[in-house]
Structure 1
Amino acid sequence: MPRPRLLLLLAVAAAVVIAPAQAASGAAQLQRLVPQPDGRANFGFTFRLYDSSDPAWGDTRPFDERIADSIQHELGGKTPTFLTVWSPWQEPEQPGKPLVPFSAALPDIAKVRSVVGDQGLIHLEWTLSLSSQGNGGLTVKDIRDGAVDAYIRAYARDVRNYGKPLLITPFVAEFNGTWWWAVSPGANPGLTTDDFVEAWRRVVDIFRAVGADNVSWAWVVNSYPQPSDEPVIAYWPGDDYVDWVGADIYDVSPPHWLDGPYGLAVAHHKPFWIGEFGIRHEFSVLTPTQQQGWLASMFGYFESHTDVKAISYFNYCYRPGAVHVKWDPARTIYLDNGQVNYEPNVNDLDSRLLAGGPDTQALFARLISSPRYVSAISTEPVDSHVEAATAELLPPLLHGRTATLGWTGNLAADTYDLSVKRGSRPWRTITSRVAVLSYRLRGAARERARVRVRARNVDGDPGQWSPARTLVFGLR
């Protein structure tokens, strides 16, 4: 589904210090999500996290009241276990296009936790959409090339120190389409599927290097097949880089359209997650009775496909008639920091069960009451190990009495110390905790010196010094 809601869900937060449960230099034990055993599944609900007095956005009641009502009347008293929080990579319309830290998502996470407690799971959709890319923002190619490694390391450190299990979708769900929020070649001709794959791997590798092993990775496609689309397997990062396979589906699509992504999940031995499903899609032409039939058929699909290990109903209204969106289907409007071209729609984009009426609410409550859908996640302990940061000096470039030094580091390397030894004098650190990868060193005529470098991880822990290199400066 289109996501003009993304920025609306964000709370602007001051920097929050996230204290680790244990010293980062040692091994800390974290919990990680695992699928439910014995044919059971988790279920989630996508709630609007912000309050609004604008009636065009649906329910104007406070968050707590809205959620309590949903649980009582639509979920049969069951507490949902998968709830989504959106957080962008950057704010491209702000001066300098600042990158957004994990701490900015904490207010929304706290609000969700007030509903699900410790028995639930936060699904963090870490969004990087064409609307950002088209405004001079990041692309998956930038991420692939290492342009924001330091930001990813800091984000991963804060996620690790947060300590609770997280399910993260990097970049965006439904990445494979041609819609404005996708990160596919069809949406942005400057990208390739290899850019997506390598960027995904780089993010996961950095999280692992930092020890953020409380994260499970969700690869979520759109179930709608277009002949012009790249086959979804072209976006597959590899079995070692994906924990959950997911797909989104709405009432414009029959359940069997899930067969492709579901079959991929089974073939790769991954649990399958319905990341979003719902009625009243913007292009739906079904009557309320037909929509209820579609809901029943979806639950029939879930029951007959035992590798469906989680489902999330998109109980959300983002009607384009809202006053502060200034809806006009005849013109281009700007949302989510970029251009969105809307078309006139049949429906009002309100997929809440409440909007479907009492019969729809009662039907969903009855379907979700099955003992298959449980109100607590399953986790397993994992030992989090922070990878040692390493650095290697490159061959120096000498020009007279100036040496240009360069070095490289592994994905755990965040900053660097450079040390020099001149003649018989002791080693002296000349730069400390710098993020740059080069340094210009001056020496006396014909002076001999030795240089070495070491890296520090994102927690500041130093690695081993590299083997020293000897320099002999020229006359001038």
Structure 2
Amino acid sequence: MPPYHRIHPLEHGVFLPHGPQDGPAFTAMIGAAPQWMLLFRDWTHETPPLGALEAVRAQGATPVLTWEPWYAPAENTAPADASHQLPFALTRMLAGDHDYRISTWARALASWGHDVVLRFAHEMNGDWYPWGTGIQGNTADQYVRAWRYVHDSFTAAGATNVRWCWAPNIPAPRADTDVAQLADFFPGDDMVDVLGIDGYNWGFPEPPLSWSAPEELFGPGLDELRSLGTRLPIVVTETASAEGHEPGHSKADWITQLFDYLTRQGDVRGVIWFQERKERDWRINSSPTALAAYRHAVANLH
């Protein structure tokens, strides 16, 4: 059972590949304005996207800015070893190699002064980013120290308007008790304001990326987040589903199940849908039935 009764309705959000400029069309499509809007910026960007943040605010949403310490490869051209970028190993961050960029972002967001959720170095428990566990010699302890290092820089800049979102990927099934727990990466509730978690229903016929009901997908991860012992709000910071092609594997049904399940989790504040055709057609409108299910689910949140 979730530890808290729901006080506020579950909130919905979205990632739009072209950014907030597509927000009005998305709102028209689903019949309700998103309350959270997810953005991504890698470290090729010397300064934060203040124009995009303003556009999100103008639409009445809270910006969730994913700040990725790497040079993200171009879409559909990512080499197999894209996660191996030695300048972005956690040891290099701790050595001060990126202090200028970190302090520049901290000062710029402090001067901007409005509410922003900064999702720094997400999915750290995976091996697909340069800051991930086991990549380039990274350890969970280094991740914690790097998080605190960056957070301290923002504190020194007076960026009190920044809320910090710590967002692991759903934990992999553990046959080995030596595998790191989410708690091993947690920098402490004095350094985090929002707990995030990412998880997708990939819809492959075989595990580990097989069709997964929402409770199967998120239940173990939510249990681990709760075991941290904080009272921090939880947001599903990325999710989506493939279209199913077997009996009982309906994307429309999965969407309905997702919202029903998360509504029952009183400590889950919101859920952000990844509205892009990428590895799968993750979009809400990948089929008329999926779109109808999403519209219905969102309408019943209020």
- TM surpasses 0.5: yes
TM-score by length of 2: 0.81
Answer whether contact 2:171 2:182 (CA < 8 A) is retained: no
Partner of 1:175: 124
In structure 2, do the counterparts of structure 1 residues 293 and 209 end up closer, same or farther at CA, with 3 Å as the change threshold?
same
Distance 1:71 1:89 in 2: 30
C-alpha distance in structure 2 between counterparts of 1:161 and 1:136, whole Å:
31
Cα-to-partner distance string for 1:301-331 (whole Å, 9 max, x where unaligned) = 1111111101101111236xxxxxxxxxxxx
**Which residue of 2 is the match for residue 303 of structure 1?**
263
Q: How does 1:167-206 map to 2 (within 5 A)?
A: 167-171=117-121, 173-178=122-127, 180-181=128-129, 183-186=131-134, 188-206=135-153
Query: Comparing 263-272 with 233-242, which one deviates more in the overlay?
Result: 263-272
Give distance in 2, aligned partners of 1:42 and 1:302.
10
Counterpart of 2:77 in structure 1 is none
* Residue in structure 1 matched with residue 214 of structure 2 by the alignment: 255
Secondary structure of 2:88's counterpart equals: coil
> What is the RMSD of the two structures over their aligned residues, measured on CA atoms?
2.6
Asked whether the 8 Å contact 2:143–2:185 carries over to 1, the reply is yes
Displacement after TM superposition at 1:233 (Å): 1.0
- Paired letter, 1:364: Y
Please state which structure has a larger fraction of its residues in helix.
Answer: 2
- Indicate if the aligned counterparts of 1:49 and 1:108 stay in contact, CA closer than 8 A: no
- Counterpart of 1:121 in structure 2 is 62
CA distance in 2, matches of 1:71, 1:288: 29
Whole-Å Cα distance in 2 between the matches of residues 167 and 239 of structure 1? 15
The aligned amino acid for 2:277 is C
Equivalent position of 2:165 in the other structure: 218
- In structure 1, the partner of 2:103 is 153
**CA distance in structure 1 between the aligned counterparts of 2:9 and 2:124, rounded to whole angstroms:** 28
Query: In structure 1, the residue corresponding to 2:87 is in which secondary structure?
Result: coil
User: Residue 109 of structure 1 aligns with which residue?
Assistant: 53
Contact 1:265–1:271 (8 Å) recurs in 2: no
Q: Does structure 1 residue 134 correspond to structure 2 residue 84?
A: yes
One-letter code aligned to 2:161:
N
User: 1:45 touches 1:83 (CA, 8 Å); kept in 2?
Assistant: yes
Number of aligned positions between the proteins: 273
Give the SS at the match of 2:145: helix
Structure 1's 226 and 129: CA in aligned 2 closer, same or farther, altered over 3 A? Answer: farther
> What's the counterpart of residue 274 of structure 1?
236
Cα shift readout 1:349-408 (whole Å, capped 9, x = no counterpart): 2111121x1111111001011244xxxxxxxxxxxxxxxxxxxxxxxxxxxxxxxxxxxx
2:293 aligned to which of 363, 367, 372:
363
Distance 1:361 1:140, change over 3 A: same
Superposition pairs of residues 28-47 of structure 1, within 5 angstroms: 38-47=7-16
Change (3 A) 1:285 1:351: same
| Counterparts in 2 of 1:147 and 1:287: CA distance versus 1, 3 Å | farther
| Distance in 2 (alpha carbons) for counterparts of 1:161 and 1:287 | 54
Q: Which structure would you say has the larger RCO, counting Cα contacts within 8 Å and 6 or more residues apart?
A: 2
Which structure carries more strand by proportion?
A: 1
Q: In percent, how many aligned pairs have the same letter? A: 22
Distance change (3 Å), C-alpha of 1:129 and 1:226: farther
Q: Answer whether contact 2:36 2:63 (CA < 8 A) is retained.
A: yes
CA distance in 1, matches of 2:24, 2:100: 41
Query: TM-score w.r.t. structure 1 length?
Result: 0.53
CA contact (8 A) 1:133 1:139 kept: no
